Structure 1
């Protein structure tokens, strides 16, 4: 099932199944995403599309595509490399990515986002997908100067407001046969800059969930960003930084297209 979270024209936050990929109307779903949704026959107009979930935590895996590690000039990691984005980075489909005044090196990263559906602790790889509610598109927006030169660690450079757009839909786990074999792309102003497949991941979705769950509890609603493929702005010659006015599209096979425009702070 494809699920959107949205504001209806009465100002209520609702869940629904979109009637088409314009996301202007949806068939209402009653209930809550993490405890169960019930189909109805009520057709609603979508006033504003929202990120499909408001996560308690946003966990991110770095250097998780072989060719991205190569373009970054970094060795392949021996285990999933974790960093965390604050929930204040969350942004809706269609909302602006705000270009901070304090960075000159704003970068895009298309990522498959995994949404955890139930509490996961000490999970075996063979059972990991049983804990997945669904999948959505993410853009792990990054200020590379803060990440790589000023702080020389990833926390601040990944954590400015609006640096984690999610959406446009959550596709339930039963709709995705294999999350480790999905085409994934970034387009900026219509130009394809990243074009890869999740099969290039160093650690697949099952390995990531299992590994993280053995360090700490994965709460229901937790979002895990699984890494980005090659083609990021910092890896290009010349480098391709996002600037105000750029339209950034993240597309993942079987999920949809997440679109956000860059806006000056």
Structure 2
């Protein structure tokens, strides 16, 4: 099942897409306004998330599918977003090439401890069909398409798509500038939905693709698989949660293996489409911040 967040005045509505139809779960239970509410109900009742949804569906009539296609709300209200880096071979190579200290990335790629870092607060996260940001003090900016893990109290409950926007020029100048290269206004996008963990057969075998277009022309189009990831999802989650007071709802991005050529940088107005099998397509335009 795929879960979408829709706006409803000052509050939200949680919708689910199943069997080709879309249903408004909030209309079945006003206490279920977001994915976090649904997960909390699942935890309290000790019933799988999708089973709780089946009980809520009852006699609900389906909505127009366009109701979820146009949403610009992140599908989950995560208290924090974290990210993992150097989890694919091409990512390690790209960061070596951009850096003045390339050996450190090779050491992380081969190390037993992965790179895990803080990425965004809720105010820095945008949803589908919204604008992601590139910094005005950077001249080399790229999107990073990633499988994103949705966590409830540190446990895996779903998957979504993440765009870990990055300033390669700032990070490449000095690795200590990583927070400035990664954490800024509109630095992260997630969406368009959350796919329940139970409905994903294997998160390590998902096709992932990215297309970047400018004025209607495709500038970049490549595909990969999460099977290329050198780390496992449970390994990254365990490292993130280890000795860390994780919030109730969080998202962990798992790294990228789709990296545009060194001569490419995003411009305002570009459109980034990221697609992952069984989840959907995350679309964002680009704005300078």
Q: What TM-score do you get using the length of structure 2 for normalisation?
A: 0.77
1:29 to 25, 30, 55: 25
Aligned to 1:49, which of 72, 75, 98?
A: 72
Aligned partner of residue 206 in structure 1, secondary structure? helix
User: 1:138 is matched with which residue?
Assistant: 162
Report deviation, 1:185.
1.5
Q: 2:259 aligns with which of 201, 210, 232?
A: 232
Is this contact kept in 2: 1:116–1:219, CA < 8 A?
Answer: no
Give how far 1:191 is off.
4.7
What are the equivalent positions in structure 2 for 1:43-82 lying under 5 Å apart?
43-44=62-63, 46=67, 48-73=71-96, 74-75=105-106, 76-78=109-111, 79-82=113-116
The answer on 1:245 being equivalent to 2:269 is yes
| Equivalent residue number for residue 47 of structure 2 | none
- 1:124 maps to what in 2? none
Structure showing greater relative contact order (alpha-carbon pairs closer than 8 Å, 6 or more residues apart) = 1
CA contact (8 A) 2:128 2:189 kept: yes
Matched, 1:108 2:143: yes
* 1:203 pairs with one of 231, 250, 253: 231
Using the alignment, how far apart are the partners of 1:194 and 1:33 within structure 2? Answer: 35
Between the aligned partners of 1:29 and 1:192, the Cα distance in structure 2 is 38
2:205 to 161, 172, 181: 181
- The verdict on how the C-alpha distance between 1:101 and 1:72 changes in structure 2, with shifts beyond 3 A counting, is closer
Equivalent pair of 1:193/1:232 in contact (CA under 8 Å): no
More strand by share: 1
Q: Secondary structure at the match of 2:265?
A: coil
Aligned to 1:92: 127
Stretches of structure 1 that go unaligned for 5 or more consecutive residues are 121-130
TM-score of the two chains, using structure 1 as the length reference? 0.84
CA gap 1:214/1:19 in 2 versus in 1, 3 angstroms: closer
Judge conservation of contact 2:95–2:172 (CA < 8 Å) in 1: no
**Which structure has the bigger radius of gyration?**
2
Instruction: Single out whichever of 26-35 and 249-258 deviates more from structure 2.
Output: 26-35
CA distance in 2: counterparts of 1:164 and 1:20, whole angstroms: 30
What displacement does 1:203 show? Answer: 1.1
Greater fraction of residues in helix: 2
Deviation at 1:196? 1.2
Other structure's SS at 2:248 match: coil
Is 2:38 the counterpart of 1:15?
no
